[in-house]
Amino acid sequence: MNSRDRVLAAINHEPLDRFPLDIGGPISGISKIAYDRYLQKYAPTLYPSDLCDKFQQLACIHEETLQRWTVDTRHICAGFQGTDIDENHYYDGFGVKHRSVFSPHYNQIIYFDQIDWPLKNTREIKDIENFKWPQLKEAQIEEVLVQAKKLRTQGEYVVILDAPTGGVMECATWLVGLKAFFSDIFFHLDFFEHLLDQIANTLFVPYWQEVLVEGGLGEYVDIVLIGDDFGMQDRMIISPKLFRELVKPKLKTVVASIKEFADVKVMLHSCGSIYPIIGDLIDIGFDILNPLQPHATDMDHQKIKAKFGEKLCFHGGVDIQRVMPRGTPEEVQEEVQRAFDTLGTDGTGYIRATAHNILADVPPENIHAYTSVRG
């Protein structure tokens, strides 16, 4: 069983020789700071790494490292065109302005934060209609297509195509600002409903058609990853009722279009406490759910596996809030085994990953312990 067979078997709830491992991309990646510390200790000839994700400051993980860790996936992405202002500021494809956050402890930038939003001062539908949506980086599809063809020709790994930005609701919060989204949604419901509709139908459906059909990537991709956070630590960001009325129909349109454009499985990344809508996510059409944040309210892995395990493949679940940064290497390996025993209790339907990116505070010994487990 090679890596691609292993991941597809897990998704299809078929027998496995071991649980597959995903490391990479925007939700199972590694901070450049943490990865460089790992390289210095365990692979100094590869130090230092390159930066792959400016916003989250994630490292490009070397192919040699991915093979050493026996990672079963490879990530690709056709991104949107942004504009650099200086080393500490940039505009993303939506025109959202970002500023660096500097850590004196590491003497480095640890991530970028949003500081200005293009639709923050309007609640007029005409301004949504006139908004200039992001464009693909020049020659992006051609470059990514070369990667995808090479990976599929090799036939060894599952190819995951990462979305170029946040999802339907997340993009709405980026355009107006998170605080304004919470404050105004009930006072300007027509505006926000139209905004979500335009994000789904004017941005995402055409984007996925362009990359999967016209760009040809659909022939070489196994999984499409969408990220759209609906949960906080102890509750949902919006109520389940509002999610079903406002967000679900738009998200269902996007997922249906992806499956129409290509024969792929679709994975959702949604942090936090989202138990009340897991059934809705299945109805929307998601095949894989990440990250199963273990310390979020009501995200009990045994309960979720028992109720939804026949209809979803689970991805993630290894704690990055406590165990990965502050546990011992032995505790890290015990945490991985706990995920095997709960999310993979039937021996399948689970892809091992951390419950988000491995951040700068995770020591190299714990990365080594995590990647050394063979389940």
Q: What is the pLDDT of residues 153-186, one digit of tens each?
A: 999 999 999 999 999 999 999 999 999 998 999 9
pLDDT at residue 142 above 90? yes
93 in a structural domain: no
- Nearest-10 crossing angle of helices 329-343, 301-308: 30
Which string of b and e fits 319-354 if b means at least 16 CB within 10 Å?
A: bbeebbbebeeebbbebbebbbebbbeeebbbbbbb
Q: Is 109 a member of any domain? A: no
Q: Is residue 216 exposed (0-12), middle (13-18) or buried (19+ Cβ within 10 Å)?
A: middle
- Flag whether the pTM goes above 0.85: yes
Write down the number of H helices and E strands in the chain.
16, 13
pLDDT for the residue numbered 3: 98
Taking only the tens place, the pLDDT of each residue in 212-231 is 999 999 999 999 999 999 99
Bridge partners of 313, per DSSP, are: 288
Q: Tell me how far CA of residue 326 lies from CA of 18, 320, 322, in angstroms.
A: 27, 9, 6
Let me know: does 139 contact 133? Beta carbons within 8 Å: no
Gap between the Cα atoms of 72 and 24, Å rounded: 10
- Beta strands per DSSP E along the chain: 51-53, 58-59, 73-76, 83-86, 89-91, 97-103, 108-116, 158-162, 223-227, 265-269, 288-290, 313-318, 350-354
374 pLDDT band, cuts 50/70/90, is: confident
Structure tokens at 294: 């273990």
CB 51 within 8 A of CB 118: no
Q: Give the torsion sign (CA, 183, 56, 27, 333).
A: negative
- 244 in any annotated domain: yes
Residue 311 pLDDT grade (very low, low, confident, very high; cuts 50, 70, 90)? very high
Expressed as residue numbers, the domain containing 220 is 3-78+131-372
Q: Decide: 264 and 221 in contact? Cβ < 8 Å.
A: yes
Asked if residue 363 has a cis previous peptide bond (ω within 30° of 0), the answer is no
Q: Is 109 left (phi over 0), alpha (psi -120 to 50) or beta?
A: beta
Domain total in the chain: 1
The amino acid occupying position 210 is E
- Is 99 a domain residue? no
Residue % of the chain over a pLDDT of 70? 100
Output the domain CATH number for residue 213.
3.20.20.210
Decide if 105 is inside a domain: no
d(CA 369, CA 344): 20
∠ CA 45-50-54, nearest 5°, is 155
Handedness of CA 80, 84, 89, 95 (dihedral sign): negative
| pLDDT for res 375 | 80
Question: What mean pLDDT, rounded, does the chain reach?
Answer: 97
**CA-only gyration radius of the chain, Å:** 20
pLDDT band at 252 (very low <50, low <70, confident <90, very high): very high
- 358 occurs within a structural domain: yes
